[in-house]
Amino acid sequence: MDLGISALNYVTSIKNGDFTVEEFIEKTLERIKDVDEKVHAFLQVSDTALEKANKIDRRIKSNDKIGKFYGMPISVKDNMCVEGTITTCASKVLENFIAPYTGTAVSRLESDDAIIIGKTNLDEFAMGLSTEFSAYGPSRNPWNTDFVPGGSSGGSAVSVSANECIASLGSDTGGSIRNPASFCSVVGLKPTYGLVSRYGLISYANSIEQIGPMTRTVEDSAFLLNSISGVDSNDNTTVEKSHHDYLQNIDVGISGKNIGIVSEMTNSDGVSTEVMNATNNAIKTFEKLGANCEEMSLGSVPYAVAAYYTITSTEAGSNLARYDNIRYGYDFDSEGFEFNSYISKARKKLGPEVTRRMILGGFVPSAGYAGKYFLKALKVKSKLTTEIDNAFKKFDFLISPTVPIQPFKFGEKIEDPVSFMLIDFNTVTANLTGKPAISVPYENSNGLPIGIQIMANSFEENKLFQAAYALEKTVDLPEVPL
Amino acid sequence: MVKIGLEIHCQLTKLKSKLFCSCKADYREFEPNMNICPICSGIPGSLPLLNQSAVEKATTIAMALNCEIPEKIAFFRKNYFYPDLPKNFQITQLNAYGDTSIGSRGKISVNNKEIRIRRIQLEEDPGRLIYEGATERTKITLVDYNRAGTPLVEIVTEPDFENPSEVRIFLNILSDLLENLGVSDPGLEGAMRADANVSIEGGVKVEIKNIGSFHDLEKAVHFEITRQQSLHEREIEIIQETRHWDDRRKITVSSRGKEEEGEYRYFLESDIPWVNIRSDKKDQLKTTMPENISSKKERYISKYSIAPQVADILASDKYYSELFEKSHSENDAKDIANLITTDLMGLVDTREKRDSSKLLATHLSELVDAIAKKRITRTSAKDILQDMVKTGNSLSVILEKGDLNQISNRDELSQIISDVLSNEENAANEARLKPETINFLVGKVMQKTKGKADPIVTLEILKEKLGI
Amino acid sequence: MVNEDEIANVANLMRIDIEDHSVHIKRVQKMLEYFDILDKADIGSVELLVQETDLEKLRTDDHIPYEKNIIDFLKTYKEKYVKAPKMN
């Protein structure tokens, strides 16, 4: 039984009777016990998984209709509400928060008979790029545990990369799925804004974030997207779009397609030599596959990071205001305290990065600064969207390295705020414009992964998967050394 | 030169659900925190789901107040910390990026004076705070979120009022208008609240909050004008600030120190897409809107020749106008109108009386018909109405039960009148000398017969017996 | 220029209790200086693009009681209320 099996192959195996769900889940739990000490992907592991597996096996035996996931173990980033589980957002302020409901994306997986195997680690409240800001300790890159796994969906990426489960749901606000996907050599998709319901996703920057699948293969990503996507009456920002079967025609190839290489993301000083080389190789590969590759420019990209941090710190400052520990949170009696000072005391449990974003989020939208920063940021967002819309009139896809650099060591980047922000340089554009973007593992240099990012126009995930699949098929990457 | 402006908050109590979730809009019947869900209690990961009918009702309010309504409306977050605010921000509206609020630049006529409406906005009500504990030290603050998320329309006027009584008249007109529109029941406790701002001699604006009722509002405004004028006379600076109404001491008190932050960091609520309100929708809403009060009044006067004061009472009160519309026919409109605004009024002048009343429109038509046909006297109408309100019995049942038929039988009346005359010797003598005082005796006969005596026959017999 | 007073006011506004204002002053200053790059973007005439929906697509006005008692999941006082700290 190979725990590194793809989702599609897992389903085939179960249907063929190669092994039972219970056997696989048992092995999975053992694997987690084995390796999670080293990589700390999980904040919580389910204690009902075996029981659920057993039930599914019995239903299979009785020839019941089984949901398409056939009991496969899927992990969920701990910023998504799953009923009855403590949902911490990797923060101490939600140490005791038990979610009273399950969010839509997770619920759709469960309805299709997926087994939620556990909640994964993240940067606190999804603010970060390396999972170093989790209040419960960082996660570690399974390719080399001295290095960060990326963030903020670091735990999700690790759980899939280290074969602790078959797939994971992460969330992406500025690159939080794609960045750790690139760092951990897994496939990470940020869907079009409005394709996947955010009901149950604990908000950080609600105008741009999305839940997305993290998987070992591109087909698996399409498989998961089929289940979680689609309009939801619990989320008014979801859009009615005819539901594709994203697996259909995934292998048609990209011959004759036009690919734009975003020069601002590919030729900048911030891109390391290894990443540059990998990108050039990828471009050659695309050309061999029959696509026309051409350099192009998105003029507002240099302003995107500033716009991104302005908008997200404003929204975060508001979205996190409810964590006053009065209705839910952690144990801290308000007896003897006055209202305002209690809240400030209770929120001292917020980590340093979240604290910094709260301060920033108080500045930029405030009366004195709103016109100077916030409105300008919104305009950059709009302008960038127009630019990319125009680009997609000519190009089918836009590509770049997912992250300008390879994984770095713990503690290396978190001191300098500006250089830290710039790690997001290539990924924020897709969030600000709402376009779908996927990171495909491409190379492994000095034992550390490099991913290539492909973007497509809104709601064209089916096309996006075709390009990603074609690229993936040309690649033969090593097994994870764990 | 006194300038007063108002901010009125009106709950859309006629809606079934809250503004952003499907909990009940009218929270009054529930035990504490039994009318809440993840959305209105601010549970993480929940998202606001805008109520379609709330937008429609707010649109009709904007139309009734002659406002401009934009093609698209948007919502914003007003960020501040308070225990009754589950998310520590309120979702509200303002005009930014052009007109984004449901109504702007409207107007309404108050005593032939035009009051300008600056803006109308849809927003959510916060929860309620309850205090437990006897002393300041032991007092604890308890929160009930049942009201959190209840749909509110805030109406902001320009400072066009010049005195407290204008304010009072306006508020009455507004209450009637909102009730007539079918969007709110202003009589429900807490359904309508208002804050005021006051300035004099073109000076600074002082805001007054925490006013419990419209009655208090008039007092508060009056007090504040006096306070400012007194400061002004003594050449003391009037400070621009927020004050609250202290109901016990009947004064306004500075809220400095207790104030909310001025800094609300307003920004777009992107969980709610901008809502397109197409012009065909606006037209449809306009045609299905209930007729407005002044138009009703005009119609009652011109079509049915109803006296203006009567028409005013009927048109301004939804309960009466509905009763009128349902009960009158071609010929008896005037009589029905009179009956409602005289004998019926005292029986159904409060919400409790109206809630328990069993009177139907058909009762009124029957009654008016019977009076016209002289089966009963006009004076017995009040007693009959009382019975109808109390029991819901039809006229025929009541007449059978009691003996309310008009006494026209001469012999019967003659006996009664003789009795009255023997008891009222002085009045009888007076009437012989001054015939115009005979009405006193008529009254006595009416009293004795509980209004059932036929007044014309009574007068005849009296005159006979008195020899005048 | 960001000064200590401004940091203190903002921290209070956001109900964030910070001890070392100077650390935050430096960091916020750096970030805001970086954000000044937004001044260079040519965005004078840009119209804001927003997500739209139609009135007809909004939630219909129905009272649907929530399937469970949320109060059971909150920190409560006498199992009925949420207790807030004293208001000044």
Host H or E run for residue A465: helix A461-473
Residues 78-117 on B with a CB inside 8 Å of C are 81, 83, 97
Confirm whether C29 is domain-assigned.
Answer: yes
pLDDT digits (tens, 9 = 90+) for B138-150: 778 999 999 999 9
pLDDT for residue A266: 95
Tokens 């998709």 belong to which residue?
A189
Of A451, B22, A126, which Cα lies nearest the Cα of C59?
Answer: B22
Residue B170 and residue B128 in one domain: yes
The candidate with the shortest Cα–Cα distance to A71, out of A51, A86, A55, A53, is A53
Report residue B144: phi and psi, to 5°: -120, 115
Reported as half-sphere exposure (CB side, CA atoms, 13 A), residue A267 has a value of 8
Residue B286 lies in a domain: no
Range name among A30-44, B63-77, B412-426 with the lowest pLDDT average: B412-426
Instruction: Count, in order, helices (H) and strands (E) of chain C.
Output: 2, 2
Going by DSSP bridges, is the β-strand pair B151-157/B113-124 parallel, antiparallel, or unpaired?
Answer: antiparallel
Tell whether C61 is covered by a domain: no
pLDDT in tens, A66-89: 999 999 999 999 999 999 999 999
- Catalytic, A344? Answer no
Same domain, B131 and B240: yes
Rounded to 10 deg, the angle between the B318-327 and B308-316 helix axes is: 110
Query: What domain range includes position B422?
Result: 410-466
CA distance A322 to A329: 10
User: Which residues on chain B are in Cβ contact (under 8 Å) with C54?
Assistant: 275-276, 278
- pTM score, whole prediction: 0.91
Tell me whether residue B119 is in a domain.
Answer: yes
* Pairs of CB atoms within 8 A across A/B: 93
Do strands B206-209 and B192-200 pair parallel, antiparallel, or not at all (unpaired)?
antiparallel
Which of B368, B401, B434 delimits the end of a domain? B401
Q: Is residue C57 part of a domain?
A: no
**How large is the ipTM?**
0.95
Q: Which tens digit of pLDDT belongs to each residue from B170-181?
A: 999 999 999 999
On chain B, the residues whose CB falls within 8 A of the CB of C8 are none
Pick the CATH number of A1-482 from 3.40.640.10, 3.30.200.20, 3.90.1300.10, 3.40.605.10: 3.90.1300.10
Residue A432 contacts B, CB cutoff 8 Å: no
DSSP per-residue codes, B80-137: ---TT-TTSEEEE----SS--SSEEEEEEEETTEEEEEEEEEEEE---EEEEE-SSTT
What is the H or E stretch that residue B174 is in?
helix B164-181
Domain assignment present for C77: no
For B245-284, how does the pLDDT look when each residue is reduced to its tens digit (9 = 90+)? 998 899 999 886 555 557 899 999 999 999 999 999 999 9
B79 → closest Cβ in A103, A235, A318: A318
Chain B residue whose CA is closest to C47: B97
Res B133: pLDDT: 82
- pLDDT of res. C88: 67
Terminal Cα distance for chain A, rounded? 16
Name the token pair of C57: 């697509």
| Number of domains forming the structure of chain C | 1
B301 & B232 share domain: no
Instruction: Kindly calculate the radius of gyration of chain C based on its CA atoms and give it in whole angstroms.
Output: 23
Helices B438-448 and B425-433: crossing angle, nearest 10°?
140
A152 belongs to the catalytic site: yes
Residues B169 and B48 in one domain: yes
Q: Which chains touch A (3 or more CB pairs under 8 A)?
A: B, C
Contact between residue A174 and residue A209 where contact means Cβ atoms under 8 Å apart:
no
* Residue B178 located in a structural domain: yes
For chain B, the domain total comes to 3
For the residues of A182-243, what is the DSSP string, one character each? HHHT-EEEEPPTTTB--TTB--SSTTT-EEEEEESSHHHHHHHHHHHBS-BTTBTT------
| Structural domain includes residue B447 | yes
Size of interface A-C (CB pairs under 8 A): 137
Given a contact cutoff of 8 angstroms between Cβ atoms, the answer to whether B292 and B64 are in contact is yes
Residues B396 and B270 reside in one and the same domain: no
pLDDT tens for A173-217 read 999 999 999 999 999 999 999 999 999 999 999 999 999 999 999
Structure confidence by residue, pLDDT tens digits, A249-302: 999 999 999 999 999 999 988 899 999 999 999 999 999 999 999 999 999 999
Does the structure show a pLDDT above 80 at B404?
Answer: no
Domain boundaries, chain A: 1-482
**Strands, DSSP E only, in A40-88?**
42-45, 73-77
A203 is an active site residue: no
CB nearest to C31's CB, from A98, A343, A360: A360
In a domain, C62, yes or no: no
What pLDDT is stored for residue A151 in this prediction? 94
**Percent of chain A whose pLDDT exceeds 90:** 92
Is C32 a domain residue?
Answer: yes
Cα separation, A249 vs A257, whole angstroms: 15
Same domain, residue pair B268 and B386:
no
- Chain B contact present for C17, CB below 8 A: no
Which residue in A has a C-alpha nearest to residue C77's C-alpha?
A327
Domain extent, residue C5, equals 1-40
- SS3 at position B236: coil
Other C-beta atoms within 10 Å of B113: how many? Answer: 13
Of B281, B309, B324, the position where a domain reaches its end is B281
